Structure 1
Amino acid sequence: MTKIYQQIVVAFLALTVYVKDVTSAGCLSEVDDIDYPKSIRSDLYRGEQAFTVSMLDAINKATPNENIFFSPYSTYHALLLAYFGARNETEAELIKALNLNWPKNKNHVRQAYIAEKKSRKMRSDNSPIDFASADRIFFSKEATLHECMRDIFSEELQVMDFRSNPEQCRMEINSWIANVTRNEIPEVLNAGDIATDTNLVLGNAAYFKGQWEAKFDAKDTTKEVFYTSSNKQTFVDMMHINGTYALSVDERLRAHVLEMPYLSDKKGGISMVIILPPFEPNSLDEVLKRLTPDTLNMALKEGMAREIEISLPKFEFEQNIELLPILNKMGINQLFGPNADLSGFSVDKQLSLGDAKHVAKIKVDEEGSTAAAATVLFSFRSARPIEPTKFECNHPFLFLIYDHKTQAILFTGIYRDPMTQK
């Protein structure tokens, strides 16, 4: 089976498929007369938040003692491409997993996808935040596509000669990824990953780099203890800063929720959100059980600006995720099986997917954060706790890179153990 890779400079999901000859019909309608609401982008990323929580839970259960980092945004976008070509039971499976129970029809989702893409392009102009994301549908030239798919996805679609020159196709796909990811990912697909019987690769490549709105001073960084558990401690480079930040003492999550904004020239910017549970056994797992789109959004809305001293470890780590078992646990099974129905893409081919992987890494230092890939001691009682003057990330915590404008979770992770950093 051909291997598939997702890599990101935060995430890239490439799904290599095998094709069997089966007559099919149907296509995503290019236009309709429905007056779509202006909230369609937030509707789309409301579903992405729920997808993020589900994916985080599945990965955490698969790797309960490790650091975690991945891009739900990138994975979600790659699976959206599959959704646009899916039909029947395969489509129903993706609707459930991607939380697409809000649209009037599939074209409603496409309008949200287009609106997000336009907004991202406008936002990138002269912004100090560097966030880039691109989708691609690499089709074999032997496949007969629905004409409307050629029109609707003209920017995403790229025809490839997999059968005659698979190695050249592999190099071209790698070159596209390297371009989107600022050469952070020079080679994702290895020799042999693209074969003569490859007919389709779906992919998303994404990159993020942001400077803190208020930078840490490197001279204040000191060696301090990080408590992985009650009986395991490690010294880390701990950064320190005093400033005014939005902080919520959240009783629903039973954790403190801090927003650290990245430098932006517009309202509704991007922040790192740190969710710090009490330093108690299983407290992080308890927070994850309570984490939902509703509890997250309420915690962010209730954040109050206050003067606070922050201690945050410098960290940099990379994670390789076998994505297929994770997606299976999330209910995406038929898409990767022999009965997959992707007849919305092609008039004369039945497409089925093989495998998926996700490789992601992140770097957080005094300057800010870079997310990249070759595709994060308060005790709670029944009464409301005292408002803290210190926010010390000296034990395991959850972190998100959160886009306030779209309410999308771009990246997320759990920082548990400095000793597992790569």
Structure 2
Amino acid sequence: KFCLDFFEVLSKHFPSDNIIYSPLSISAALGMVLLGARGNSATQIETVLHFLEFANNENPRTGNFSEATRSDDNSESSRRLPLPPQQPVPDDQCDIPGGIHSQFHDIFSAINKPTTSYELANANRLYGEKTFNFLQQYLSSIKKLYQAELEIADFQNAAEETREQINLWVETFTNGKIKDLFAPGTLSADTMLVLVNAVYFKGQWAVEFKKENSKERPFQINETTSKTVQMMYHMGEYKIATIEEHPCQVLELPYKNGDLSMYILLPKDYTGLTQLEKELTFEKLTTWISPGHLKEDEVEVYLPRFKIETSAKLNQYLEALGITDVFHQGVSDLSGMTKTGGLFVSHVVHKAYIEV
């Protein structure tokens, strides 16, 4: 649901641009902030990300430190144990949740396993001004649950040097695919807390598009404009569905070993994309791509080769959805991160890159 909520906001700001973003990656990054958020700051994050709608009525902020530091147990029963009621948090501790955070841990542990099917790099890291005393329990928890760290930074005296360090880390983590995440002058002495999120993906198709079948072909952008692109081609068995009420087709393109798939929504005519975007809902999308809805058929597939990358500071888009308090000093409550008052999130930056 957050995926489509966020898309609606982005499409208003970038009405004619190609957009790529990872809602899972952004949600996980904000989950790290939620670990240390309290009061209305936490409630806004939970609401916008739809965390409170998860099964078992698990509260993302309930639990205790043992939930985050227990030994890994992948059994179904252990993940479904009821969480204890919320307890007052001692002044020197971070209230450590289970529930949604443990699910993020399981998801990223699975998709980050070494594989020859795809390249996936997901970088999450917080950078916090060194004048704040960050709680050790919080630092341990984001490392345990999100495989992420909070780096202590000297924004007040070395903002530009810190910017270069952040850019180098992201570039290294993504094997050189994502560079210059922060432009010169982006960070300043007033910066307090920066959330960095970058994701890169490139996969191998289960059924490869042969190079000799790729040709320069016209790609229709809209009713009046077309562009010549390098177009891949393959004819074979694919799972496909026709949605009469919109109308459009839904095609599944599986990646090698069936670990992941790309789903393509193709309107019947060039003018239908805008309307499809407006009418698309979480319920419709999950129905259309469900195994019972898609049927195997022989399909001719023409797919442009492309690389898309999008970089954006997300503060304004998240505020438009309702996450406001954590971005403003005086109302931000991040007392689960530090007992030093006045901390707020200065920047949430997301960069996504996909190669097809």
| TM > 0.5 | yes
1:146 aligns with 2:138: no
Letter in 2 for 1:263: K
Instruction: Give the count of matched residue pairs.
Output: 309
- Residue 260 of structure 2 corresponds to 270
Q: Deviations over 1:63-122 (max 9, x none)?
A: 22332222223322222222222221221111111111133342122222222233234x
> For the structure 1 residues 353 and 152, does the alpha-carbon distance in structure 2 shift closer, same or farther, using more than 3 Å as the test?
closer
1:133 aligns with 2:133: no
1:341 aligns with 2:344: no
d(CA) in 2 for partners of 1:322 and 1:142? 24
Alignment of 1:181-192 (within 5 A): 181-192=174-185
Conserved? CA contact 1:149–1:345, under 8 Å: yes
d(CA) in 2 for partners of 1:63 and 1:134? 24
Letter in 2 for 1:63: F
1:195 aligns with 2:188: yes
SS of residue matched to 2:261: strand
> For the structure 1 residues 288 and 329, does the alpha-carbon distance in structure 2 shift closer, same or farther, using more than 3 Å as the test?
same
Conserved? CA contact 1:244–1:308, under 8 Å: yes
Q: Deviations over 1:306-348 (max 9, x none)?
A: 1111111223344454533322322222232332222221111
> For the structure 1 residues 113 and 322, does the alpha-carbon distance in structure 2 shift closer, same or farther, using more than 3 Å as the test?
closer
- Residue 99 of structure 1 corresponds to 50
SS of residue matched to 1:82: helix
Conserved? CA contact 2:129–2:192, under 8 Å: yes
Deviation at 1:359, TM superposition (A): 4.4
More strand by share: 1
- Normalising by structure 2, we get a TM-score of 0.78
Conserved? CA contact 2:206–2:254, under 8 Å: yes
Q: 1:309 aligns with which of 293, 300, 303?
A: 300
Letter in 2 for 1:340: S
SS of residue matched to 2:344: strand
Deviation at 1:262, TM superposition (A): 1.4
Conserved? CA contact 1:257–1:299, under 8 Å: yes
Conserved? CA contact 1:253–1:295, under 8 Å: no
- Residue 75 of structure 2 corresponds to none
- Normalising by structure 1, we get a TM-score of 0.67
1:85 aligns with 2:36: yes
Deviation at 1:243, TM superposition (A): 1.1
Q: Deviations over 1:247-289 (max 9, x none)?
A: 111245532110111113xx5x1111100011053x2222223
Letter in 2 for 1:145: F
SS of residue matched to 1:349: coil
Q: 1:298 aligns with which of 287, 291, 296?
A: 287
d(CA) in 2 for partners of 1:146 and 1:113? 22
d(CA) in 2 for partners of 1:152 and 1:84? 8
Conserved? CA contact 1:277–1:287, under 8 Å: yes
Letter in 2 for 1:114: H
Structure 1: runs of 5+ lacking an equivalent: 1-49, 365-422
> For the structure 1 residues 167 and 183, does the alpha-carbon distance in structure 2 shift closer, same or farther, using more than 3 Å as the test?
same
Conserved? CA contact 2:196–2:349, under 8 Å: no
- Residue 326 of structure 1 corresponds to 317
Q: Which structure is higher in RCO with an 8 Å CA cutoff and minimum separation 6?
A: 1
SS of residue matched to 1:235: strand
- Residue 372 of structure 1 corresponds to none
Q: 1:120 aligns with which of 89, 94, 111?
A: 111
Identity of aligned residues (%): 28
- Residue 220 of structure 1 corresponds to 213
Conserved? CA contact 1:180–1:207, under 8 Å: no
SS of residue matched to 1:96: helix
Conserved? CA contact 2:216–2:231, under 8 Å: yes
d(CA) in 2 for partners of 1:163 and 1:104? 37
CA-atom RMSD, angstroms?
Answer: 2.4
1:363 aligns with 2:318: no
SS of residue matched to 2:235: strand
SS of residue matched to 2:155: coil
d(CA) in 2 for partners of 1:105 and 1:56? 24
Q: 1:352 aligns with which of 336, 344, 355?
A: 344
Letter in 1 for 2:288: A
Deviation at 1:246, TM superposition (A): 0.8
Conserved? CA contact 1:144–1:349, under 8 Å: no
> For the structure 1 residues 340 and 148, does the alpha-carbon distance in structure 2 shift closer, same or farther, using more than 3 Å as the test?
same
Q: 2:151 aligns with which of 139, 154, 158?
A: 158
d(CA) in 1 for partners of 2:183 and 2:228? 37
> For the structure 1 residues 71 and 104, does the alpha-carbon distance in structure 2 shift closer, same or farther, using more than 3 Å as the test?
closer
Conserved? CA contact 1:93–1:331, under 8 Å: yes
Q: 1:231 aligns with which of 185, 207, 224?
A: 224
Deviation at 1:234, TM superposition (A): 2.9
Letter in 1 for 2:343: L
More helix by share: 2
> For the structure 1 residues 253 and 235, does the alpha-carbon distance in structure 2 shift closer, same or farther, using more than 3 Å as the test?
same
Letter in 2 for 1:104: N
- Residue 69 of structure 2 corresponds to none
Deviation at 1:212, TM superposition (A): 1.4
Conserved? CA contact 2:197–2:350, under 8 Å: no
